[in-house]
Amino acid sequence: MANEPVSAIILAGGASRRMGVDKRRLRLWGERGPTLLERTLAMASELCDETLVVLNDPELWPALPARLVGDAYPGAGPLGGIYSGLRVCASPFALVLACDMPFLSRALLAAMLAFPRDHDVLALRTRAPGATRNGLGIEPLHAIYSRVCLPAIHEALEAGERQITAFFPRVRVRVLERADYAAYDPEGLALFSLNTPEQLEQARRRIEAI
């Protein structure tokens, strides 16, 4: 049922190699505004019953108002982060978000959370498939996962697999096409992620124009 408790898992363990700075601490909304991680956490906390943050340096975030979770598979990337959060979350489903999306849509997230739970993974097809984290045009770090996925993810990790979507054939996946959710994200910005200095500059210009 869509009204079942849902946890939020925020993945914040990236090394930010392409960005050159710790993007979790970027303050895109002014020096007195929240960091990117804090803003993501605040939105997720409004919508979910508990919030977990998976990261490798919890000692650097003592004031973060969330349950901090260490990575069970260090170096395994986001797939390891998803597994680390799912294995300890209190709810049967979890909203998984990367911490590098500055234009998250509360309306879109709420719509996803209200969607019938007839799936093990609920993910979105992006408007620009070539820009996604995989070759399927699916954004796996703005998605809902069931704890039913844990055995399949564990098997993939043990086999050395790091592609998030590698375990998808073993579970029930529902993909919402762009037309299914465009009303909640009319400008197509919700899935925009920060990985490079160029993308950071794009985000800053966009925020300044609002």
Residue tagged 């508990």 (tokens): 50
Q: What is the pLDDT along the chain (210 residues), one digit of tens a residue?
A: 456 899 999 999 866 666 778 999 999 999 899 999 999 999 999 999 999 999 988 888 888 999 999 999 988 999 999 999 999 999 999 999 999 999 999 999 999 999 999 999 999 998 654 455 556 789 999 999 999 999 999 999 999 999 999 999 999 999 999 999 999 999 999 999 998 899 999 999 999 887
Among candidate residues 9, 137, 28, 189, the one with its CA nearest the CA of residue 84: 9
Domains in the chain (CATH in brackets) are 6-209 (3.90.550.10)
Among candidate residues 96, 94, 93, 185, the one with its CA nearest the CA of residue 139: 96
